[in-house]
Chains A and B, each alone.
Chain A
Amino acid sequence: MKLKRHLQYILLLFDSVISSAAMAETPTASMLANTCAGCHGTNGSSVGPASPTIAGISRDYFIETMEAYKNAKRPSTIMTRIAKGYTKQEIELMAGFFSRQKFIRYDQQYDASKVKVGKKLHKKYCQKCHEDGGRSAEDDAGILAGQWEPYLRYSMEDFTSGDRTMEKKMKKKMDLLKKSQGDKGVDALIHFYSSQK
């Protein structure tokens, strides 16, 4: 993983060289990213209750997500409309900005007994990609630990309905989880992730 991180920094440096030469009319990363704060919080840490924190996000996952919104491959209320306002280069700049911010976690309500179940299910089904209890942004997975509960719930609703496509690995694990635990298992996972400080 370390090697990958180093590579990312090198790419990032490379990016900034290209971008400063390429277009004088492109805003800086902070100029672009500051416009997101109205919904996602200052520097990308949301105070809730529903809009997700995007601080600390994996650079690649951010880019992939924005491209998916842009091409209507991922459902959303408003992001499909907003993502269309940015070029590939601008999205990359914002991705760099938010990936360097600290994810600030706020207290949420949760059910302690569900958290306990969720913790076990996480280890069994999710840990392999969502490392470190869902805290890690490596492997380009979304950060789940401390993410806002309604957002996690909406995401699972969209995966379940098929409106949002799961990666093969995830689908396989989700099918297994649902088969053995049903919707209660998903609910327990959501409680586990949103309880994490």
Chain B
Amino acid sequence: MSNIDRRSFLTLASGAAIATALGYPMVSFGAGKRVVVVGGGIGGATAAKYIRMADPSIEVTIVEPKKTYHTCFLSNEILGGNRDFKTIQFGYNGLKKRGINVIHEIAIDIDPVAKNVTLKGGKKLAYDACIVSPGISFKWDAIEGYDAKVAQSLPHAWQAGPQTVLLRDQIRAMPDGGNVLIVAPPNPFRCPPGPYERASQIAWYLKNNKPKSKIFILDNKKKFSKQKLFQAGWQRHYGFNTDKSMIEWISGDAGGKVKRVDAKAMIAEADVDFKGDVINVIPPQQAGKIAFTGDLVDKKGWCPVKQNSFESTRHADIYVVGDASIAAPLPKSGYAANSEAKVCAAAVLAKLNGKGTPVPSYVNTCYSLMTPEDGMSVAMVYRFDSKKGKIIKIKGSGGLTPDKASAQMRKREVAYAHSWFNNITHDTFN
């Protein structure tokens, strides 16, 4: 039995049996193949877990600088006072227990020819397949007066963590009658309904604590995700479309495009100046930094991939999943990242075993919570159209919570949103 002792042989054998039962391609014994995952967010962590779950003989390493991951999804509930900050924190012990190596360092380069990842400390990790899940980075030059330094006083809170706490505390400290400005980004960006859920959650807090206050959403766009449903919800709860509306949405057409912010004067400059007591700037976005240094982006700053495997079209054996990849019509969401990662994991397993790319299946589900008892969702089932080489929506499937959904059903959506949160994070990190 060469170098494999009895116990690891049993592990391998049962792993192979499980993998076969799971429908993954047959596993080659003692393959000793190496997969390096760059980025331990939803996409990266899920891909690592599902590869390891299907074939424990593969050595899987995650490179992630942070020891604690904060989910962006449902972090808006913290602003509304409806969720404890601790509940969005996730560590890597669950993945370590699966035998996944986790290195808390920054990856600074990927060499697609030598097939290795360079860490900041100089160490190089060789790979047979590299999965990159870099998330987003911000275009700091897009809005004059707004950069990484200014974000320390005017939070974006679009990568959850200390930024979320900063925004929450600023809203808590604001006087009653103050203005909160939310500067919403142009497409494409992480979590399309996010800025509008954020407005809803902040409105919930203000309604109960500082009812004379107002929220202005200064938008780059003419329309937004789940718009009709959000506006109906704002009408139900926050006086939308009346002169007492707590939320005002100013579209790009109506002068909502912000060109400059002045952190000292607390002004966001669109067609006219808006004065804010709290200014939340969600800047325009692009793929995370390693996607740029690793030469994985197109001219627009996102990563083109073969959409049935998520293998980069720029470099073989490097895969990009999550917000950074170009996977439309799949949105840039947590659920999509989790779903893409599983498709990618199956494709990587197949390739390492000399098999063709499996037929993929993808789902997205996004919940938005307007009050603690009023939620809504959008869902879609997707397939790969092999003729077009593109992901397509399954006709007739998915869509939004119906306009006419009862209050009882909208309350259930909240319970299911919380279930989704618990299950997707468990599915990703445990």
**Is A84's CB under 8 angstroms from B424's CB?**
no
Residue of B nearest to A31 (CB): B361
Q: Which residues of B contact A38 (CB under 8 A)?
A: 335, 338-339, 363, 365, 420, 423-424, 427
Known contacts A47-B423, A51-B423; is-contact A35 B361 (Cβ 8 Å): yes
Residue of A nearest to B336 (CB): A38
Say yes or no for B26: interface residue by CB 8 A criterion: no
Which positions 170-204 of chain B face chain A at CB distance < 8 Å? none
| A34-B51 Cα distance, complex, nearest whole Å | 13
Number of residue pairs across A and B with beta carbons under 8 Å?
131
Known contacts A28-B358, A50-B419, A82-B397; is-contact A42 B381 (Cβ 8 Å): no
**Is A85's CB under 8 angstroms from B381's CB?**
yes
Q: Which of A19-27, A133-141, A173-181 contacts B (4 or more CB under 8 A)?
A: A19-27
Tell me the minimal C-beta distance from A164 to chain B in angstroms: 13
Type the 1/0 row for A141-165, where 1 means its CB is closer than 8 Å to any CB of B: 0000000101000100100000000
Tell me the minimal C-beta distance from B87 to chain A in angstroms: 13
Q: Which residues of A contact B342 (CB under 8 A)?
A: 31, 34-35
Say yes or no for B401: interface residue by CB 8 A criterion: yes
Residue of A nearest to B415 (CB): A50
Which positions 327-346 of chain B face chain A at CB distance < 8 Å? 335, 338-339, 342-343, 346
Say yes or no for A117: interface residue by CB 8 A criterion: no
Residues of A within 8 A of B (CB-CB), count = 39
Q: Which residues of A contact B360 (CB under 8 A)?
A: 27, 31
| A1-B240 Cα distance, complex, nearest whole Å | 59
Tell me the minimal C-beta distance from A28 to chain B in angstroms: 4
Q: Which residues of B contact A129 (CB under 8 A)?
A: none
| A81-B413 Cα distance, complex, nearest whole Å | 13
Say yes or no for B362: interface residue by CB 8 A criterion: yes
Of A35, A90, A157, the contact of B363 (CB 8 Å cutoff): A35
Say yes or no for A77: interface residue by CB 8 A criterion: yes
Tell me the minimal C-beta distance from B302 to chain A in angstroms: 23
Say yes or no for A3: interface residue by CB 8 A criterion: no
**Is A154's CB under 8 angstroms from B422's CB?**
no
**Is A41's CB under 8 angstroms from B409's CB?**
no
Of A40, A75, A86, the contact of B423 (CB 8 Å cutoff): A40
6 A-B pairs with least C-beta separation: A85-B381, A85-B397, A30-B23, A28-B23, A51-B419, A35-B363
* 12 intermolecular pairs with C-beta atoms under 8 Å apart: A31-B358, A35-B339, A35-B363, A39-B365, A51-B416, A51-B420, A75-B409, A77-B416, A78-B365, A78-B416, A86-B394, A97-B23
Q: Please report A residues at the B interface, Cβ cutoff 8 Å.
A: 24-32, 34-42, 46-51, 75, 77-78, 81-82, 84-86, 90, 97, 100, 148, 150, 154, 157
Known pairs A35-B381, A38-B365, A50-B416. 12 more at Cβ < 8 A?
A26-B359, A28-B358, A31-B361, A32-B361, A35-B339, A38-B423, A77-B409, A77-B412, A82-B379, A82-B398, A84-B396, A150-B412
